[in-house]
Structure 1
Amino acid sequence: MHRMHRRVLAVCCVVIALAGFAAGADRAKPSSAPADVVHERDTPLTRVAFGSCSRPTLPQRLWKPLGELEPEVFAWLGDVVYADSREQTFVWRPSPLEHVRDIYAMQKALPEYKAFVDGPSKPLVLGVWDDHDFNLNNGGDRNQLRDSVQEIFLDFLDEPAESLRRQREGLYVSHAWSGPDRKGRIRRVKLILLDVRYFRQDFDSDTDSKWAMWISSLTAGQPVNVNFPGVGDEQVVRHEELRHKQHRDHSRGDMLGDAQWTWLEAQLRDSAEQQFDLTLIGSGVQVLSDTPIIEKWGLFGSSQRRLLKTVHDLGVPGVVFLSGDVHMGEMLCTDDTEDYLLGLSYQSAHSTPVPAQRPHHLPDDSPITVNTVPRLGYPLFEFTSSGMTHSCKTQIPIVSCLFAVNWLAPGTFRVGPTIFDDLNFGFIEIDWDNEVVEASIRGKDGAAGLVTKIPFSRLRPFQQSDKETASASELQYEAHLCPHRHPVDDVHLWARFGVRVVLISALLVLVLGVPLLCLSLPFLLLRCVWRWRFRAASTSASSQPRHAKSE
């Protein structure tokens, strides 16, 4: 009898232990999370607008044409106002909270803005901050007023009292919309807004300073050889046309913080599991850009790669980045073959087998291996809109904005030959019948200055049919890559590099030469006076009669 009890007790212990182990395993397994706010609709979301960089003291020329397009959602992507105060050029300081509250109230009370918010479409106004509405230019986690400014920002957006954003640190948030299309298929769109300020480590918290990174990005530009660490023996060394050296992870600082990273991974996992048609990720600064001087994710190389690697590892379809900050409109795209952004050189479960062709950006003598085939399986697009009241065109009076951007600060990932330098806002329209996303950067008259159409198929991993020949598949794969990417050959590359060197040298001469000239002026004057007096004395001595000496 006692033996029976012992056996029963032993079996119970084993069952309890296994149950505890399974529960621990379930807790350890990463889980997805639905969007913070879910919108159930009778029709799918169709029109989304976004913009950044606005001053309430300047003319508000974009709200009327923006309202005429009747967006269903408008997303602020930073610099809603300029709350901090400029002491002198490139020197800003935080403003008192009373001033911050007043300038947000001024923006909210503008007649043009109120007419847009209360217009016929009554758009849902969402938003996240960048640095100036964060009340600290280029600021991060050392902003001691960030919690108070967060409340002011949420009041500006009329955020409900029960909102998650009023209960946690940081402004990050996600919204999801779902609704049936004309054929009865449920269509899903998610908007993820990232807070790149609240948790961001300041530049001086790392060994690399901000100015050192900017100088290295200015003086970079020539093709270089880069080693890509792999897994095990899978290591590739190949010649990539790296335009700027900051892709080598100049900074190990963090952009998002642990809590936001965990939340973001859960949101992206949900998008992958639920197969969202489109996942828009909004950021106050550019994600893909390698343009020098500007603040961007590329200055935090480890965070940039972690973001792109998370999208890659989870196999999230339909990801498109939205951004602001740079006072111009721009379209960016990176082919997934350009995997140095991911910092990867191995084949994963999400990689799609395609013919071993040579990507268009690799030189003819570079090796092609299995590691150069797509990682994510589709191109990553980014659309930047910045400058709702002031832009690059209004702020560079001496030289053309287009010349400055295209020649002095070229971008490798720019789609098309140029940028939009005037006042602008971004607009995304989804054609559910034809499964096409049209993204445009529009100006003061509402007309599209930059526009591109992306089929849903281009936002999905490339699929090769078993019946297709290698040549046919190569042609289809080429069509799957980034559109309108104009190649930059070595001549243009070195020309741009030379122009930048000359201008930087001239700037250094002006900066260093003028003070040295001012310091040397007194010595030059003394030397001139001394030489004048010496010549005067010599003239006086030579004018005396010769017989005076004999006397």
Structure 2
Amino acid sequence: MNFLRFTSAALALAACSTAPVIEEAGVPPRPLEPWSQVEPMASAPLDRSAPVTRIAFGSCIKQKDPLDVLDVIAARDPDLAVLLGDNVYGDVWDLADANLTELVVAYQDLAAREEFTRFREEIPLLVTWDDHDYGQNDQGGNYPRKFETEKIFENAWALPSDDERRARDGVYTSEVLGPEGQRLQIILLDTRFFRSDLTRTDERNAPGKERYVPSADPEQTMLGAEQERWLAEVLAQPADLRILVSSIQVIAEGHGWEAWRTLPLARERLYDTIDKSGVRNIVMVSGDRHLGGIYLEKETTGFPLYELTASSINAPQSIWRERDGNTSIEPGPKRLGDPVYTINYGEIEIDWEARTVDLSVRNEWGAAVREATLGF
């Protein structure tokens, strides 16, 4: 059965609830596993031996809304694209629903979009998740359906049967691309599967305390002990340039939404891991916030550490800011310039000969609206 034909939740639920797997007499039928109901979305093959010079980054895709910007990104001819999370909005609010209907239907709807099909068939993809494709808004390690949603993720993004993510908990992974002298390492973290609960604000919607406040609890974690060990190991691998992908912002201060600042000791451990590795050829990329920007940390790290936030492909803050008449600018003591509240995506361009990296936030027409250049 081709589930691309189903675009409504009702039809998808019917599809997920029929066709018994067990047919023995006297045994009641059970529904198919939800991860078997998603359409695998394989992308163009990734040539791991070729040097990478241009990478596109994007996040926060409303699967039923316009996706014209994908054609703009493709026209820039990136060597690959990295999806930073919230790649669908499929929050599962009925945890008793064995079919995880909202998430399954969200992936079915994205798979049915001609713009996205065209994009992924042309451009290789690397993918991590965030809360809305993990299962519920702002959820972390205590989300009870995370094992099922990980299987849905693995099938939806057509991970090979021998992919390491199919054999362990969480969707973190890394890739090393290009020849010696032009080796690019891309590290994709999982900031959901192992994360401790965040500390809720005592003053909801107050500037800087909108949803969460920092916690000093030393037991709290963003990555979990095993992923932290793994990160130290992959940072020890040889590479000429590294891109560290976190679905949520690492450096950003000034707001009380989800970010590494809510777990400051976990962020200290991240910086310490980077410092102890001796790595300085590293750039960070994040999504989640429905805004774009470039951030710089150099006081805590002791060297210039840049972060490119790219969000959103088609659900920018400008939509509800205009609706609410909100003209305020989010504080950003470590941000370079004002945030980009309109549709945006990120781009990193690498000049291997000059040993420079150009970071840019680009608008829906592909024009750079925020830029920074660094050497490595």
Distance 1:67 1:39, change over 3 A: closer
Per the alignment, in what secondary structure is the counterpart of residue 374 of structure 2?
strand
Report what 2:59 is aligned to: 52
Question: 1:284 aligned to 2:247?
Answer: yes
Equivalent residues in 2 for 1:479-518 (5 A)?
A: none
Deviation readout 1:96-122 (Å, 9 max, x if unpaired): 513311211211221001111122xxx
Query: Among the aligned pairs, what percent are the same residue?
Result: 30
Give the letter for the 2:348 counterpart: I
In structure 1, the residue matched to 2:172 is: 172
* Residues 49 and 73 in structure 1, CA contact (< 8 A), matched pair in contact too: yes
Alignment-derived partner of residue 43 in structure 2:
none
Counterpart Cα distance in 1 of 2:214 and 2:193: 24
**Structure with more of its chain in helix, by fraction:** 1
Letter in 2 for 1:268: L
Write the mapping of 1:52-451 to structure 2, written as runs, cut at 5 A.
52-84=59-91, 96-119=99-122, 123-179=123-179, 186-203=181-198, 209-212=199-202, 218=208, 249=216, 252-270=219-237, 274=238, 276-335=239-298, 338-339=299-300, 376=302, 378-398=303-323, 403-404=327-328, 406=329, 409-416=330-337, 418-451=338-371
Distance (Å, rounded) in 2 between the aligned partners of 1:72 and 1:156: 22
Change (3 A) 1:306 1:63: same
The change in CA–CA distance for 1:419 and 1:219 in structure 2 (over 3 A counts) is closer
Structure 1 residue 210 displacement after superposition: 1.4
Distance change >3 Å, CA 131–CA 93, structure 1 → 2: farther
Question: TM-score, normalized by length of structure 1?
Answer: 0.56
Task: Look at both structures and tell me which one has the larger radius of gyration over its CA atoms.
Answer: 1
Aligned residue for 1:35? none
**In 2, are the aligned partners of 1:214 and 1:292 still within 8 Å (CA)?**
no
The alignment of Structure 1 onto Structure 2 pairs a total of residues equal to: 328
After superposition, give the CA deviation of every residue in 1:280-329 in whole Å (9 maximum; x if it has no partner): 11011000111222110000111111001111122112111100000010
1:391-427 deviation per Cα after TM superposition (whole angstroms, max 9, x unaligned): 01012235565x32x2xx30110012x1111111111
Aligned-partner SS, 2:319: helix
Any idea what SS the aligned residue of 1:212 has? Answer: coil
Provide closer, same or farther for how the CA distance between residues 213 and 435 of structure 1 changes in structure 2, counting only shifts above 3 A.
farther
Tell whether the 8 Å contact from 2:209 to 2:257 is kept in structure 1 after alignment. no
Moved more, 288-297 or 93-102: 93-102
SS of match in other structure, 1:397 = helix
Partner SS state of residue 77, structure 2: coil
Q: Report the 3-state secondary structure (helix = DSSP H, G, I; strand = E; otherwise coil) of the residue aligned with 1:453.
A: strand
The Cα offsets for residues 346-393 of structure 1, whole Å up to 9 and x where unpaired, read as xxxxxxxxxxxxxxxxxxxxxxxxxxxxx64x2000000111111010
- AA partner of residue 77 (structure 2): E
Could you tell me how far apart the structure 1 residues matched to 2:339 and 2:222 are?
A: 26
Q: Would the aligned equivalents of 2:249 and 2:288 in 1 still touch at CA under 8 Å? A: yes
Q: Please give the per-residue CA displacement for 1:46-88, whole angstroms capped at 9, x wherever unaligned.
A: 1111111011111112110011011112111110111115xxx
Partners of 1:322 and 1:383 within 8 A in 2: yes
TM-score normalised over the length of structure 2: 0.81
Task: Classify 1:293/1:381 alpha carbon distance in 2 versus 1 (closer, same or farther; 3 Å).
Answer: same
Give me the whole-angstrom Cα distance separating, in 2, the residues matched to 1:248 and 1:281: 24
User: Is the contact made by 2:176 and 2:185 (CA closer than 8 Å) also made in structure 1?
Assistant: yes
List runs of 5+ in structure 1 lacking aligned partners.
Answer: 1-37, 86-91, 181-185, 204-208, 221-244, 340-374, 457-551
Q: 1:214 touches 1:293 (CA, 8 Å); kept in 2? A: no
Q: Is residue 254–residue 300 contact of structure 1 (8 Å, CA) maintained in 2?
A: yes
Q: Which amino acid aligns with 1:262?
A: R
* CA distance in 2: counterparts of 1:93 and 1:282, whole angstroms: 30
Q: Distance in 2 between matches of 1:158 and 1:126?
A: 11
Q: What stretches of structure 2 of length at least 5 have no aligned partner?
A: 1-45
